[in-house]
Amino acid sequence: MTAPEGFEELQYGWERAYQEQGESPLWQEDPIPVIPQTIDVLTEHAVRTVVDLGCGDGRNLAALTDAGFNAMGVDIAPTGLSHARGVIRQRSFLLRADATNLPLIDDSVDAVTCFDVFGQIQDPTHLIAEARRIVAPGGLFVTNAFTLKDETYGEGEEIAPNTFAYKDTLFRYYEEDEMRALFSDWTIHEIRRVSWDDPPHGDFRPYPHRHDNWVVYATPGE
């Protein structure tokens, strides 16, 4: 199956989605349900500094900050970051950047989090490599990805295996063995399957839906 012209641009359609939502948040105010467990794991590992890649409008970043971490949110969508500025209320830092090319030094943070991003990029290997570069030895990377059982699977135009163009954005879904292969040179502490119900997201997805995710906790290998 050949991807249509403009395939790469689908990775950046979120700016339009945020703009069309106006002043209202694109997502609900509460963080995604995996955040409480993530906070527990980060705390157990004595994490102090966190970079949240693809922070969007800041709901997960705010929860990390509330938990006492020194956190920075990174996103490529300026309107999303503008919304995040109001959510975090100057309690953490924001950076507009591509998650595959971060202006951060090597081994500079205790942990990297990345939620609801793997589904929006064609190939996450560069993002994973960049996370590995900036996380300190023994640090953590926590991320999630949609499974093929996610209720949104199949919506839009299929442009590659398990990959769909939906409202100028990209949605990719993963088998467990694909996730394990992506982290083959990491130490995987856990891959957990987690599901939750999401409310409507404005005009972007205007109906309740159930998400099904792989959640990965990993440390850079030796």
Let me know: does 110 contact 84? Beta carbons within 8 Å. Answer: no
Beta bridge partners of 147: 174
**pTM for the model:** 0.87
Q: How confident is the model at residue 78 (pLDDT cuts 50, 70, 90)?
A: confident
Please determine, for residue 219, whether its predicted confidence score (pLDDT) is greater than 70.
yes
Amino acid identity of 45? Answer: H
Please determine, for residue 163, whether its predicted confidence score (pLDDT) is greater than 80.
yes
d(CA 77, CA 96): 7
Let me know: does 182 contact 190? Beta carbons within 8 Å. Answer: no
Mean pLDDT of the chain, nearest integer: 87
CA atoms within 13 A on the CB side of 166: 17
Q: Give the pLDDT confidence score for residue 152 in this predicted structure.
A: 96
pLDDT tens digit sequence for 134-153: 999 999 999 999 999 999 99
Q: pLDDT above 70 covers what percent of the chain? A: 86
Lowest mean pLDDT among 16-25, 149-158, 175-184, 190-199: 16-25
Q: Give the pLDDT confidence score for residue 12 in this predicted structure.
A: 54
- Torsion-angle region of 34 (φ positive above 0: left; ψ -120 to 50: alpha; else: beta): alpha
Q: pLDDT above 90 covers what percent of the chain? A: 67
Let me know: does 53 contact 81? Beta carbons within 8 Å. Answer: no
Mean pLDDT calculated for residue range 45-61: 93
